[in-house]
């Protein structure tokens, strides 16, 4: 039984213009995303900027209102329930943001920041809250003296630890990590990734781990979903995504990932152009359109759908990006060591 599942989730933003601010167009940021996360599991969500991965994360915790589709959390449909009914679920649905400097109130001490979740949910008295804060700081590897300090007194990595402490304050079940380590230096990034792995093991957390860095996502996740222009084009176990990528976009992402080994053989597939705008997405297979694939026209009729090609491995099938039979037209990156 999945902890969280979305069915055909859509989030469209109106583009207003003209004298009366009429809706001139719709930005289809998320256009039919179905995914599920089991307890204790990490689902990675990867894609280029503008593909809608952050919008999915925000919609899942209801920071954005979904346009259509369904979000189920712990067997409850939370897609449209009013704030009062949503509140008890919010405890179990938390988020860690990309930029810890911007997501922590600079005028609040770390104690204020970490006590706020308890105050909002009316949990515990003063003494209990103090105790909880001390325990949280200990869990994320910060000294207890940190409680009286302010966010600016910490380095980026430490600030992200405060963000993590706040997210785990109310014993959540699912944490959406939106580019949680992207702003950190390599040496600090690995410390924070380790912390997230430790917390998952100790607290049985589930993560929706959103990042543009395929290597980081692959390292952190059980399953990986690759998003392109508001849709999932491939979803599989993290090993399968790396070893048997099927969709041309997944292969291109893997190939573009710079490998820290100058002796490694390069199988670079260069993508030209940029991600098209989600305001007027091309019909049919969006990636085939970008690659100007000769078989792109076929996808206009077939309307590519996510299909299970082997147990647990879903691919959006179309003539241009997943030519059948599965010919290895692009070799997966060579294994090092």
- Contact set with other proteins (CB under 8 A): 42, 48-49, 155-158, 185-191, 193-194, 197-198, 212-216, 218-222, 238-239, 242, 252-264, 266, 268, 270-272, 274-275, 333, 335-337
Q: What distance in Å separates the CA atoms of residue 235 and residue 243, rounded to the nearest whole number?
A: 13
**Peptide bond between residue 239 and the one before it cis (omega within 30 degrees of 0):** no
Q: What is the DSSP letter of 272?
A: P
Q: What distance in Å separates the CA atoms of residue 291 and residue 297, rounded to the nearest whole number?
A: 12
Q: Which is nearer to other proteins, 145 or 335 (CB)?
A: 335
CB of 36 to other proteins, least distance (A): 19
Q: What distance in Å separates the CA atoms of residue 177 and residue 183, rounded to the nearest whole number?
A: 13
Q: Which is nearer to other proteins, 258 or 325 (CB)?
A: 258
Q: What distance in Å separates the CA atoms of residue 39 and residue 323, rounded to the nearest whole number?
A: 35
CB of 63 to other proteins, least distance (A): 24
CB 165 within 8 A of CB 147: no
Q: Which is nearer to other proteins, 169 or 286 (CB)?
A: 286
- Beta bridge pairs of residue 96: 177
Backbone angles phi, psi at 200, to 5 degrees: -60, -45
CB of 201 to other proteins, least distance (A): 9
Q: Which is nearer to other proteins, 66 or 157 (CB)?
A: 157
- C-alpha to C-alpha distances, 292 to 244, 312, 331, nearest whole angstrom: 24, 30, 21
Q: What distance in Å separates the CA atoms of residue 166 and residue 205, rounded to the nearest whole number?
A: 14
Q: What distance in Å separates the CA atoms of residue 143 and residue 140, rounded to the nearest whole number?
A: 9
Q: Which is nearer to other proteins, 134 or 195 (CB)?
A: 195
Q: Which is nearer to other proteins, 49 or 85 (CB)?
A: 49
Q: What is the DSSP letter of 148?
A: G
CB of 48 to other proteins, least distance (A): 4
CB of 261 to other proteins, least distance (A): 6
Q: Which is nearer to other proteins, 108 or 212 (CB)?
A: 212
Nearest CA to 88 among 170, 9, 23, 192? 170
CB of 334 to other proteins, least distance (A): 9
Q: Which is nearer to other proteins, 123 or 275 (CB)?
A: 275
Strands (DSSP E) contained in 166-230 are 174-178, 206-211, 223-228
CB of 76 to other proteins, least distance (A): 28
Nearest CA to 226 among 266, 253, 203? 253
CB of 181 to other proteins, least distance (A): 9
């Amino acid at each position: 039984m999945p902890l969280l599942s979305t069915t055909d989730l859509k989030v469209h933003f109106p583009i207003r213009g003209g004298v009366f601010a009429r809706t001139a167009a719709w930005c289809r940021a998320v256009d039919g995303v179905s995914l599920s996360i089991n307890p204790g599991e990490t689902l990675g969500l990867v894609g280029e900027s503008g593909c809608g991965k952050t919008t999915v994360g925000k919609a899942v915790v209801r920071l954005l209102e979904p346009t259509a589709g369904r979000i189920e959390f712990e067997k409850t449909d939370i897609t449209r329930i009013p704030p009062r009914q949503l509140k008890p679920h919010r405890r179990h649905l938390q988020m860690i943001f990309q930029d810890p400097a911007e997501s922590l109130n600079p005028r609040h001490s770390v104690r204020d920041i970490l006590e706020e979740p308890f105050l909002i949910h009316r949990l515990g008295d003063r003494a209990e809250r103090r105790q909880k804060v001390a325990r949280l700081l200990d869990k994320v590897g910060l000294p207890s003296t940190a409680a009286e300090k302010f966010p600016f007194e910490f380095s980026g990595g430490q600030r992200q630890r405060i963000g993590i402490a706040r997210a785990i304050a109310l014993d959540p079940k699912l944490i959406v990590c939106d580019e949680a380590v992207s702003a950190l230096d390599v040496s600090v990034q690995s410390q924070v990734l380790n912390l997230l792995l430790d917390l998952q093991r100790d607290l049985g957390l589930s993560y929706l781990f959103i990042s543009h860095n395929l290597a980081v996502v692959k390292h952190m996740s059980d399953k990986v979903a690759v998003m392109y222009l508001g849709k999932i084009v491939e979803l599989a176990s993290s090993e399968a995504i790396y070893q048997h990528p099927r969709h041309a976009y997944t292969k291109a992402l893997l190939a573009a990932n710079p490998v820290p080994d100058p002796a490694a053989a390069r199988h670079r597939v260069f993508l030209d152009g940029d991600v098209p705008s989600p305001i007027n997405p091309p019909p049919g297979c969006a990636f085939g359109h970008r690659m100007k694939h000769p078989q792109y026209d076929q996808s206009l009729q077939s309307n590519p759908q996510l299909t299970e090609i082997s147990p647990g491995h879903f691919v959006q099938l179309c003539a241009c990006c997943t030519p059948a039979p599965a010919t290895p037209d692009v070799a997966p990156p060579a294994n090092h060591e």
